[in-house]
Amino acid sequence: DHINWYPGHMKKTKDLLRDSLKLIDIVVELLDSRIPRSSKNPDIDTIINNKPKLVLMNKSDLGNEEGNRIWKKHLENENTKVMFVNAHSPKDGARITKEIQSILKDKIEERKAKGIKNVTVRAMIVGIPNVGKSTLINSLSGRKGAKTGNRPGVTKGKQWIKLKGNIELLDTPGILWPKFEDQEVAMNLGFTGAIKDEVLDIETLALRLIERLISIDSAVLEDRYGIEISEGQSPLGVMDTIALARGAVARNKEIDYTRVANMVLDEFRKGVLGRITLELPERE
């Protein structure tokens, strides 16, 4: 589910999105709760213009509770409703459909007043790769397995999935590009697995993650690996300590950096290291 974006590709995606927008009443934008800024497509708000939008902070089970609270306060305003969700959760699915109806309440009433029976509203899900779009579509529709296509944008033959509460959902999500020009963003996307490991050298990526985790809260690493991190210890020193604690050592007694790197990244991504929000809103 990783895509190499190039300018022509982005233009095509934009055009397809604009086509789909004509058919829908609301955009459901998925962000990753651990990296709400880095997982946001830079152009989406311009593309959707004035269309109503619901922001879903997905993978909220992996974000830190305090971080989730701070982001909600930062992002929510009169025109933007922000919900923290877990795409796997049916309970959250019910909250989402309710919220969509609530946001579109006036529009629904208007159509009813015009004598339209069984007013349905149409929604589409958008977001960068790996943010949980397919999981959410499957969960909302009660269907299992079938991963939706990984082609960017949306396909032309449109299929609608009927949800509870007279909502129809476009069965193909809008796959958007991330803000990959920014180094910090690229790192965050790498840490969470939103961009391919091969794009970034895995050992460097893990080293940078360790550096970040030390600055957020070194207890995260200390508790998980049963190590002690001394004041001013270098990230590489910490990586070595983790490797030794976990026996990530080759026959010749040298540290197996690939192994320790994969382990730390994998454990972070699965939430084994705890609930960690990697970025907070910038202070104004």
Stretch binding ligand G4P (CB under 6 A), from 122-130, 163-171, 253-261, 272-280: 122-130
Q: Annotated binding residue at 4?
A: no
- Kindly write out the interface string for residues 62-81 of this chain, putting x where it contacts ligand G4P by CB under 6 A and - elsewhere: x-------------------
The span from the CA of 77 to the CA of 150, in Å, is: 32
* CB 5, min distance to ligand G4P, A: 14
Task: Return the number of other C-beta atoms located less than 10 Å from residue 183's C-beta.
Answer: 9
Q: How many CA atoms lie within 13 A of 91 on its CB side?
A: 3
Tell whether residue 209 is a contact of ligand G4P (CB under 6 A): no
The span from the CA of 276 to the CA of 224, in Å, is: 13
Which residue in 5, 43, 45, 61 binds ligand G4P (CB under 6 A)?
Answer: 61
Tell whether residue 13 is a contact of ligand G4P (CB under 6 A): no
Which residue in 13, 38, 41, 58 binds ligand G4P (CB under 6 A)?
Answer: 58
What DSSP letter does each residue of the chain carry, written as one string? ------HHHHHHHHHHHHHHHTT-SEEEEEEETT-TTTTS-TTHHHHHTTS-EEEEEE-TTTS-HHHHHHHHHHH-BTTBEEEE--TT-HHHHHHHHHHHHHHTHHHHHHHHHTT-SS--EEEEEEESTTSSHHHHHHHHHT--S-PPP--SB--SS--EEEETTTEEEESS-EE----TTSHHHHHHHHHHTSS-GGGS-HHHHHHHHHHHHHHHHTHHHHHHHT----TT--HHHHHHHHHHHHT-B-TTS-B-HHHHHHHHHHHHHHTTT-------PPP-
* CB 262, min distance to ligand G4P, A: 15
Tell whether residue 47 is a contact of ligand G4P (CB under 6 A): no
Q: Annotated binding residue at 61?
A: yes
* CB 127, min distance to ligand G4P, A: 6
Q: Annotated binding residue at 91?
A: no
Tell whether residue 9 is a contact of ligand G4P (CB under 6 A): no
Q: Annotated binding residue at 134?
A: yes
Tell whether residue 275 is a contact of ligand G4P (CB under 6 A): no
For residue 254, what are its two tokens?
């040298």
For residue 135, what are its two tokens?
């999981």
100 or 195: CB nearest ligand G4P:
195
24 or 62: CB nearest ligand G4P:
62
Q: Annotated binding residue at 174?
A: yes
* CB 61, min distance to ligand G4P, A: 5
Q: Annotated binding residue at 59?
A: yes
* CB 1, min distance to ligand G4P, A: 4
Tell whether residue 88 is a contact of ligand G4P (CB under 6 A): yes
* CB 180, min distance to ligand G4P, A: 16
Annotated binding site for GTP: 58-61, 130-135, 174
User: Which residues here bind ligand G4P, judged by CB under 6 A?
Assistant: 1, 58-59, 61-62, 86-88, 127, 129-135
